[in-house]
Structure 1
């Protein structure tokens, strides 16, 4: 997309098709990228320093520093300079003036101050129909308050500073006075004296950045970003924590690009880089400020290049070295974009956590690390999955935080919230619930609880229920569970990513088994590893009748014959009644032992029997288990224990009196359990782990579960 400006600028692409020598004034931040990039294209580069002792790599010639720009005119002319460009915010007006004096292409000097002075910038833009905040330039506190009392909240900031320097969000007169006195009569970050302060109405809404390159009034976008900022505070309104690269086909891109072109034209920027910050207010886009320079620091350009194949710096170099191609739109064509963002680590997670984020690209730490909310470091994240990058960004930015609970009383206190989260998750309500976890600890007291919790704005939003034996690997609580997972609200990837990154950072090893391919804790596409096992299931998404019609004729005949035989024998298949729940565990264990004898899992492992006694009453009370019973003469002679999932009913275990075996009690109870799943409108009746031959007669498919890599 490109647009031709209606304004005027000094054109050069036709008269000067080849630029051989470029001077860069005061290269700082991203400006340091220009000389090496131009040199790589065979362009001679000249450093025009902005301060005494300034040096930079990649330059062919270095001019001596002088506080008077006029002293640079003769050496620049003698070196045959073709173009002079700003390498920083404070270089914009100097580059304009030098270009004007030497008759070189540029944006002219008539609006030069409007490209630096925020008050004039907004006044000029408004005169061209650009929507801007209402504002006043105040030289005393009375003027500040006269304006602010009609526009609370307001932003008070310097006229010419850059970034978030001196930007204050004020909601009352006391804060406004504090901001005024902090700025007035003091120098800004670039050394300019604040002889007045700029007071503007605060514009709420998301903030976007359009980075551009212009040539002879033709504007082209290079990158589109959005800033992530917390709730505005007195000192934090100008601070962003995240910077996310948006795709060029973002729904708001056409509107934002068109708005930016209007700002460029209004401020007379027809040559070079542009950096337009825009708030999307209630009535549409509003100009925050425009800079006639490259965006930010080198990392933003490196991030854009990695994610899309090019950056704003690359596009500007293309415009200088191949203007015809730029004007024809043949440069800066992106690769298929990858999701990318940058996080300023104001409240970073504990050491080691960031390194376990799947989309982490680069990580830098300041030394020494300052206390929050100062920036302790910076992380860049890149990936093909935008959802993964967004989730990792939330972890890195501290939007979600984790704690580790080892105290049983503290864990027990979370039960109501745990159940609430469970109901909103994709987890099996039994295997991932508090009753199952506590029963596992009760049955095996040598295990230590290791419950990871994740919080967002003080609210619990996820849990990872692990245990540890001594200093060994952290594991899910019980190997009696068929499906293990983190408990998070369905779709809350940030909570899941936080839990897994912290778990990998905090424990020397993880052995997380029985994980489904669609589990929340499986945050990458890496294949599950051994031990793996298949779980047959019956698809009930079309209802019972569709499932029944898909069974073989022999299966249907045998099941019908079995049901008739059972009815003739007076057998009744129904559900366990609430007044029977208290006796359910011991009765089930008795039936299981009667069926399997010494082969019974619960006879061979007493802790497993203890687990059933500890878990089953609570599971029934929570609605996490459903028990099918077989009754003969008023006595319960068979029990089938099923665990409730969000979209399935899972057959976990069964037992019956051995004397009932000729009547096929297992078949009768399985059919009743499957019918219960269909009656509940569940998508599956899940036969869970194991490939026993009888399961295939009921199943329509299989899923493989395994260990997280």
Structure 2
């Protein structure tokens, strides 16, 4: 897939324009029969500089869609800058006859070498390093199938120019899954993560909500003790100009929380921290960020990094000082985020991926994320999948002869090594 590729998809034509150096090669592939006016015009944004200029239009579309929080420009643009500068953005756009943006498919193109074979892989922007659940096609509400079909028809028509299409961490039940099966035929769908969540009742007293959880008595007892301590307070920060301190506290507390386990897998490395400083700044500018910091005696002891998306509070990450573990500072701060969400009139609280025990004490529902893979026209995509399967079988075989304790020690060693590097 060449750097300047642009696609325009109509009912009767696929126009491909490929830039090679200074030359432009244009190929019109027309079906027989009369030309029809296209319902949607599909094109591609192929550079970070173009992506930078899409914020306002992207936000307008996201607000008119049912797509998840991590499909936001404020999340995906800093991912391109800080996490994957070598991945070329290839964002498909769909516009109606008036030129209005009605759909986005935020992809990136990367080239890999797999056992001596080059592989051209298309995947979601935001798919690695930063825990992006519910990635998907972004389409105006009610037009999800139409927009997805337009995108996939174009990709199907250009199947000889890519080898693997990986769409990871889709929400199960997404319209995208059914349309991909319809267009590509043979696709692989595998389970990814379980995401616990809870439906909130607007106007419900917080104590009534607490009675439905497994944490009411412990939460109230621990909060009462903390409230008696000098300098106890919970700070909520949502202003873009006031994030430096809360983010520094968050990174410190998150690292402390995971230090005994060999380091965090969720926030690891200077590049990821730089990403989150960018993303939180831009999310705050949109009124989408909530940083919670618990302080006792002037010292930050617990932190929660939350995102507002529509009527949902998204619990993204947290941290706390292990020296305060026995005082349940993490429990109390999570409870305060539930209280805040209910008072804001939100209708859902989402813990995202992971089935940690503490989540089950607060919520009762779960949803699943899945990944979808389609292969291009050549053999490279199939080779890529087979190589992954062989590697997975080898890892499982090794694990099978190691004790659980030794496997965990190896994991911790690798985390510490990665943190140092």
Structure 1-normalised TM-score? 0.43
| Alignment map for 1:375-524 (pairs within 5 Å) | 376-377=32-33, 398-429=38-69, 431-443=70-82, 444-457=84-97, 458-470=99-111, 471-478=119-126, 479=128, 480-493=131-144, 494-506=146-158, 507-524=162-179
* Native 8 Å contact 1:349 1:401 kept in 2: no
| Alignment map for 1:520-669 (pairs within 5 Å) | 520-524=175-179, 529-541=189-201, 544-545=204-205, 548-549=208-209, 551=211, 555-570=215-230, 571-578=232-239, 579-597=241-259, 598-601=262-265, 604-669=268-333
* Structure 2 unpaired stretches of 5+: 1-9, 17-26, 112-118, 182-186, 374-421
Q: Work out the CA distance in 2 between the residues paired with 1:553 and 1:616.
A: 30
CA positional deviation for 1:602 = 6.0
Per-residue CA shift, 1:287-321, capped at 9, x if unaligned?
A: xxxxxxxxxxxxxxxxxxxxxxxxxxxxxxxxxxx
* Native 8 Å contact 2:206 2:342 kept in 1: no
Per-residue CA shift, 1:336-376, capped at 9, x if unaligned?
A: xxxxxxxxx8643458xxxxxxxxxxxxxxxxx9998xx73
* Bigger Rg over Cα: 1
* Native 8 Å contact 1:584 1:617 kept in 2: no
CA positional deviation for 1:577 = 4.9
CA positional deviation for 1:641 = 0.8
Per-residue CA shift, 1:147-190, capped at 9, x if unaligned?
A: xxxxxxxxxxxxxxxxxxxxxxxxxxxxxxxxxxxxxxxxxxxx
Q: Give 1 or 2: higher strand fraction.
A: 2
C-alpha root-mean-square deviation of aligned residues, in Å?
3.1
Q: Work out the CA distance in 2 between the residues paired with 1:537 and 1:445.
A: 33
| Alignment map for 1:190-229 (pairs within 5 Å) | none
Three-state SS of the structure 2 residue aligned to 1:514 is strand
> Given the superposition, is the C-alpha separation of residues 667 and 656 from structure 1 closer, same or farther in structure 2, using an over 3 Å criterion?
same
Q: Work out the CA distance in 1 between the residues paired with 2:301 and 2:213.
A: 29
Three-state SS of the structure 1 residue aligned to 2:59 is helix
CA positional deviation for 1:573 = 2.3
* Native 8 Å contact 1:528 1:705 kept in 2: no
Three-state SS of the structure 2 residue aligned to 1:708 is strand
> Given the superposition, is the C-alpha separation of residues 585 and 628 from structure 1 closer, same or farther in structure 2, using an over 3 Å criterion?
closer
Structure 2-normalised TM-score? 0.70
CA positional deviation for 1:569 = 2.1
Greater relative contact order, per chain length (Cα 8 Å cut-off, separation 6+): 2
* Native 8 Å contact 1:539 1:547 kept in 2: no
> Given the superposition, is the C-alpha separation of residues 346 and 488 from structure 1 closer, same or farther in structure 2, using an over 3 Å criterion?
closer
> Given the superposition, is the C-alpha separation of residues 604 and 546 from structure 1 closer, same or farther in structure 2, using an over 3 Å criterion?
closer
Q: Work out the CA distance in 1 between the residues paired with 2:345 and 2:212.
A: 23
Q: Work out the CA distance in 2 between the residues paired with 1:675 and 1:550.
A: 9
Q: Work out the CA distance in 1 between the residues paired with 2:95 and 2:189.
A: 30
Q: Work out the CA distance in 2 between the residues paired with 1:697 and 1:477.
A: 33
Three-state SS of the structure 1 residue aligned to 2:150 is helix
CA positional deviation for 1:660 = 2.6
Three-state SS of the structure 2 residue aligned to 1:521 is helix
Per-residue CA shift, 1:251-307, capped at 9, x if unaligned?
A: xxxxxxxxxxxxxxxxxxxxxxxxxxxxxxxxxxxxxxxxxxxxxxxxxxxxxxxxx
CA positional deviation for 1:451 = 0.9
> Given the superposition, is the C-alpha separation of residues 600 and 436 from structure 1 closer, same or farther in structure 2, using an over 3 Å criterion?
same
Tell me the matched-pair count. Answer: 329
Q: Work out the CA distance in 2 between the residues paired with 1:654 and 1:686.
A: 14
Per-residue CA shift, 1:500-559, capped at 9, x if unaligned?
A: 333454443211111113435334496983242211111114654489457457521111
Three-state SS of the structure 1 residue aligned to 2:215 is helix
* Native 8 Å contact 2:149 2:180 kept in 1: no
Q: Give 1 or 2: higher helix fraction.
A: 2
Q: Work out the CA distance in 2 between the residues paired with 1:442 and 1:601.
A: 20
* Structure 1 unpaired stretches of 5+: 1-344, 352-368, 380-395
Q: Work out the CA distance in 2 between the residues paired with 1:546 and 1:632.
A: 24
Aligned equivalent of 2:336, options 672, 675, 678: 672
CA positional deviation for 1:701 = 0.8
CA positional deviation for 1:406 = 1.1
> Given the superposition, is the C-alpha separation of residues 414 and 531 from structure 1 closer, same or farther in structure 2, using an over 3 Å criterion?
same
* Native 8 Å contact 1:513 1:531 kept in 2: no
